Amino acid sequence: MKRKLGIFLIITMLIALILIVFVGPKYQEIKLENLQTDRSLTASSSKTESSEDLGLYDKLKESKSIDILVMGNRYKMDEPDSLWIDRFKKSIHNQYDSETNVDFLTTEEDRVFRLLADYSNAELESYDLILLTIAPYGSNDEQGDQNFRLVFENLLRTVMSNNPNTEIIPVIEYGVDYEKVDQIQNLTQYYGLTYVDIKHVIESSKSSNSEYILEDQLNDEGHQLASDELFERIRAHMFQNKRNNHQVEEFLHSGAERFSSIQVISDGGQVDEPLSFNFTGEIIGLTFQMGSDHGIVDIYLDGEYLRSIDTYSSDGDSEKTFLLNSQLADSEHVITIQPSLLTNENAEGSERELVRVITN
């Protein structure tokens, strides 16, 4: 019995020795390969994550593609190849070998209030660069003019809050009046942003304005000058190794907080009969479809006549937003829109279409 047990132990030891000599190294090799694979995957994941976290200027240094959002009122894309944004894209590609993906959030209107409403209710991706273009106002809007600085401040704050690490550059289009330019400058400086004033760039050039302007619009040379100015800002920031970490400060202007929660509460509809909407807030605005066959509507706020709005336009179909009141008591209200007995002799019809109701 003892002899059999001894033989069994010897055989067991021989098998163990064989495993150690021949199988052990192979097992260690496999284990090492698995460990290296795990480390490689971890490093790759870390590298991908850090790449996604890169800011605009780090991406340009590494010739990575960048995402740009152009926001603006009355931004026209009739001939995109000739506009300053397209020339700017080419400069980025030529200098840094980076591809650019550009999205647009624009309106045909000249109202910053409409742009704020559209942006506040849009579902957008993250961007490396946001160009906030401000065009000149083309028509009188007393409420809009009085509240421009308040609305623009909230537009800046909303964009900054949603994009804390994004480069944000307001671009003041040619023709914006000096009062609004001053307001934009004060706000961008207060919030630590840079801006491009195209009119100032043109007036500071050695050539006369006529070389860059045709019928109050930028010509090819004007678009190139605007593109060059914007590109130089980017180059300067590259040299400074700029990093963005926007901090939203206290409001600069008293009363601006009223515009901090703009929202669309209804998509409207045809005004063939009175339409009423209940809302709670301090601000009320309406967007109408304009056209050559559109008529006039009467507006009532809390049962009292407020104003009439003529939705006729000889410039073809478009939309227009009216900021009706921005100083309401923060309580329940009702806005009513109904067909008016007034007519426009130039209108080819009497269509009346409410596009949206905007409040805070």
What pLDDT does 77 receive?
47
> From the first residue on, what is the mean pLDDT of each consecutive set of 10 residues in the chain (360 residues)?
57 60 49 46 44 82 94 58 84 95 80 87 90 73 70 93 93 88 93 93 83 82 93 92 84 89 88 94 93 95 95 86 91 95 91 93
What pLDDT does 16 receive?
58
What pLDDT does 143 receive?
53
Q: Tokens 């421009």 correspond to what residue?
A: 148
Q: Which CATH superfamily is domain 56-239 in?
A: SGNH hydrolase (3.40.50.1110)
What pLDDT does 233 receive?
94
pTM for the full predicted model: 0.79
What pLDDT does 177 receive?
86
Distance, in Å, from the CA atom of 164 to the CA atom of 143, rounded to the nearest integer, reads 31
What pLDDT does 218 receive?
86
Q: Tokens 């400058």 correspond to what residue?
A: 185
Say yes or no: do domains 56-239 and 261-359 share a fold. Answer: no
E strand or H helix at 217, and its extent?
strand 217-218
Distance, in Å, from the CA atom of 39 to the CA atom of 59, rounded to the nearest integer, reads 25
CATH topology of domain 261-359: Jelly Rolls (2.60.120)
Task: Output the six-digit token pair for 128.
Answer: 């490396």
Q: What is the chain's percent helix, strand, coil content, to nearest 5?
A: 40, 25, 30
Domain spans in the chain, listed from the N-terminal domain onward:
56-239, 261-359
32 to each of 25, 44, 120, 257, 278, how far by Cα in Å?
Answer: 10, 18, 53, 60, 69
